[in-house]
Amino acid sequence: MPVYTAPLDDIRFVLHELLNVETLGALPDYEDTASAELINQILEEGAKLCQEELFPLNMSGDQEGCHFDNGEVTTPKGFKEAYKLFAESGWCGVACDPRYGGMGLPHTVNFVMQEMICSANLSFGMYPGLSQGAYDAIYLHGTQAQKDLYLPKLVEGVWSGTMNLTEPQCGTDLGLIRTKAEPHPDQDGSWALSGQKIFISAGEHDLTDNIIHLVLARLPDAPEGVRGISLFIAPKFLSEENNKENTLRCSSIEHKMGIKGSSTCVMDYDGAKGFLLGEAHKGLKAMFTMMNAARLAVGMQGLGMAEVSYQNAVAYAKDRLQMRALEGTKYPDKPADPIIVHPDVRRMLLTGKAVTEGARALSYWVGMALDTAEKSTDPQAKEEAEDLVAILTPIIKAYQTDMGFEIANLAIQVHGGAGYIGEYGVEQYARDARITMIYEGTNGIQALDLVGRKLGQNFGRNLRRFFHPVSAYIEKNQSNPELSEFVFLLAKGFAKLQQSTAIIAQKGLKDPVEAGAASVDYLRQFALVAMAYMWIQMVEKAQEKLESGEGDQDFYAQKIKTARFFFTRMLPEADARFKMIMAGAEPLMDTAESAF
């Protein structure tokens, strides 16, 4: 049977020792919610919920899946009761405004909760995750009346939310949307929505009293393409008083490879009443509020899947007896040694450990930047934080989901044949993790976003928000003997990243295909350097603790050993990616379509 324990020791190390999350208390609205004591208390309670309530439903939810009958969806056994507890305990509103019933905690804390929820039960986490996206869109773009009506119910968890973008003929290319919005016959300022949406997560379920759909559609006078898209609020039930149903329905649910406890719906709108959210023809801007937040949330899903997969691989490797260690018997009292003694198993386990711990630091750093961007009253600090979030969002989403799937695959490999069967649970992690590389913009789209938009945005200012602190750190520590082995490798990787950036910018101006051909390799190269930057800072903190004799000395010593593995066995991939970028577009594009 699978195992999961929230990695609170490492979470606390990153939050309090590496990032000093308490400094968020200097921001407006966080004065009383960013203390170490409160954050630790919240996370300990959240860990209990994830371990004791959500995780036990993960495997059974996968085995049972969702049930569809005549437009209604029933979630797997136990989900409804767990969701009721989840909502009543306030977890739907961790980072939401207290004016609407939220806890008002920093987004960084919500990032931690997202990680733990996704490790425990990714399918379950989809439901409140979509509601958070709907909350964000209405909070930022809704009228005061819309906020007053919808936000308290979303925060309370008695209503849930969705995002309706995809249609049969369009996924990434939203300019192809056909769903139309016409003045509603009631002549009350609402609109009649007609069309079909597919792949709608949490589009129908039995967890809440109402489902608030955010729907992209076109007004009659809409211009072509993405400039003609508007966003609408379309509730399943139009009012609390008479429980009047809207003319929308779930016509089917998908039978999927993974996240089977999450309903993925085909939604049909037949003149359904919708209310404009934000400005007409500016729906994409409002929807990107949800999508950008969702991309970071999906990055946390990747981290969560990597963590639980890694934990199960470690548990099995310590228990499974096979052969003797290459250097001689390690456990003479046993018929064979546990497989954790073998070098290749160590390689796989350390890959999982290095990825999860490094990605956790990178993610929470971005979470703190998100808090600063939203709450700071200092225009310069706000701008810098916004730029950093912008440049790292596609990296967080793509790299962490790529690695979530890879670590899940490694967990299967560690288990051998046992990993391929359902009893041990790790094959589910691979199936569940696979979708994270696809939805909210495939990872190839994230790479295009990085090279096509984020690098040149604000005249390259976004990029400088990452490059400048890395450069400054290298310069400051290049003569530090305790960090020298790591500084040298970071500096080498960073120099190659700068070189790649310049070449992509130069070639991309002349031929966008060159930038596109380099994009995936560039994102991976960037991600590895970003991970190295976080790891070297963790090494520095660990060395300080070892020198002072404070805390768990074994914990800090292992941090340095894991960092050494990352720098010597994982960071070299960045150099290989650099060579792939240098190969240019020709090897990709010089083959005729007929040759495939």
pLDDT in tens, 139-157: 999 999 999 999 999 999 9
User: CB-based burial of residue 498 (10 Å sphere; 0-12 exposed, 13-18 middle, 19+ buried)?
Assistant: middle
DSSP conformation class of 75: P
The answer for residues whose C-beta is within 8 angstroms of residue 181's C-beta and 6 or more apart is 191, 192, 193, 217, 218, 219, 220, 230, 232, 274
The answer to which of 15-19, 173-177, 300-304 has the lowest mean pLDDT is 173-177
Catalytic residues: 440
State the chain's mean pLDDT as an integer: 96
pLDDT in tens, 226-264: 889 999 999 999 976 557 899 999 999 999 999 999 999
pLDDT in tens, 301-319: 999 999 999 999 999 999 9
Residue 584 backbone zone (phi > 0: left; psi -120 to 50: alpha; other: beta): left
Q: Copy the structure tokens of residue 541.
A: 């903190």
The fold adopted by the segment(s) 157-281 is Butyryl-CoA Dehydrogenase, subunit A; domain 2 (2.40.110)
The answer for residues whose C-beta is within 8 angstroms of residue 120's C-beta and 6 or more apart is 4, 50, 51, 54, 55, 58, 304, 308
Q: What percent of the chain has pLDDT over 90?
A: 92
pLDDT at 325: 95
Q: What is the dihedral of CA 313, 318, 322, 326, to 10 degrees?
A: 100
Region 516-538: mean pLDDT is 98
Region 65-77: mean pLDDT is 97
pLDDT in tens, 192-228: 999 999 999 999 999 999 999 999 999 999 888 888 9
The answer to which of 119-133, 239-253, 324-338, 471-485 has the lowest mean pLDDT is 239-253
Q: For 8-153, CATH number?
A: 1.10.540.10
pLDDT in tens, 431-460: 999 999 999 999 999 999 999 999 998 889
pLDDT at 242: 53
**Burial state string for 70-95 with b = 16 or more CB within 10 A and e = fewer than 16:** eeebbbbebbeebbeebbeebbbbbb
How is 295-327 classified by DSSP, letter by letter? HHHHHHHHHHHHHHHHHHHHHHHHH-B-S--TT
pTM for the whole structure: 0.97
Q: Helices (H) and strands (E) in the chain — how many of each?
A: 18, 9
The answer for residues whose C-beta is within 8 angstroms of residue 292's C-beta and 6 or more apart is 393
